[in-house]
Amino acid sequence: MAQVLGGDILVGADGVYKCRQQHLLQRPSSDLLQVVPLNTIVGELTLSGETFKRQLALGHSAYNLINPELGFIGFFGLHHVLPDGASCRIFWMYMQPNSDDVSHAQHWLQMSSQREKLGHVLRTVARIPPKFREIFELTPTDRVRREGEGAFHAFIDAMKLTATLDQLYVDDKVNDIIAVKAAGTDYHAEMLKRGLTAVRSSRRSYQEAKKRAETKQHFTSGMKSLPAEEIVLEVKA
């Protein structure tokens, strides 16, 4: 059943595979997108007690796990500590260079289930020390994120656009086409600059990771071991 909505401004925010863009350019999105050839699998989980403390001992808020021999990079980050002060939400990213087109519909990363993605990660990390693979092994299958759930910049785009439109409303300029165009131009310029910076940073990180994976280069130059630090979860009343 068709729906009719009323409003003052129509926002065309239909994603990277937007039909509107393909229609205007007369080219499919697959010709325009250049996806970084990197297998990326993301998981989230809740930790508490001793498991929480063990992760904090590895990195108080975030840490990297780089293994040239196995050809992958792991990033682990603390989302937030829960109100009880003894548990947290944490996430991990598993990244592995891939020469195939990961955006292709038939690529295994696109076709695999959450269980299959997690299984791939667990098989890869099986050879690393237990303290580093624990977080992967504790991840529930249903907490492996599906593609498209980590659109960080899309959230920023939406929030900034909301603020822009809200300011037009506050200034009573919603029906002033000149003011709307000016606000839209400023918003669009900032979005493109931020997006370009993000893409270039992503590609630069990928190239560095690929080089280290291919040459089995280690990040040991100039490094020294730090003493293990005991983590105390102190909950204040």
From first to last of the 237 residues of the chain, give the pLDDT tens digit: 567 777 777 777 666 667 777 887 888 877 777 777 778 899 999 999 999 999 988 888 888 887 777 778 899 999 999 998 889 999 999 988 776 777 777 888 888 999 999 999 999 999 999 999 999 999 999 999 876 656 778 889 989 999 999 999 999 998 999 999 999 999 999 999 998 898 888 788 777 766 766 676 655 555 666 677 778 877 555
**For helices 152-170 and 177-215, angle between their N-to-C axes, nearest 10 degrees:** 170
- Supply 115's token pair: 């269980």
Query: What type of residue sits at position 176?
Result: D
What's the whole-model pTM score?
A: 0.72
Radius of gyration of the chain (CA): 22
Tell me which DSSP letter residue 61 carries: S
Q: In what order do the strands lie in the sheet containing 38-48?
A: 38-48, 87-97, 72-81, 62-67
Alpha-carbon distances, residue 159 vs 151, 185, 187, 236 (angstroms): 13, 16, 11, 35
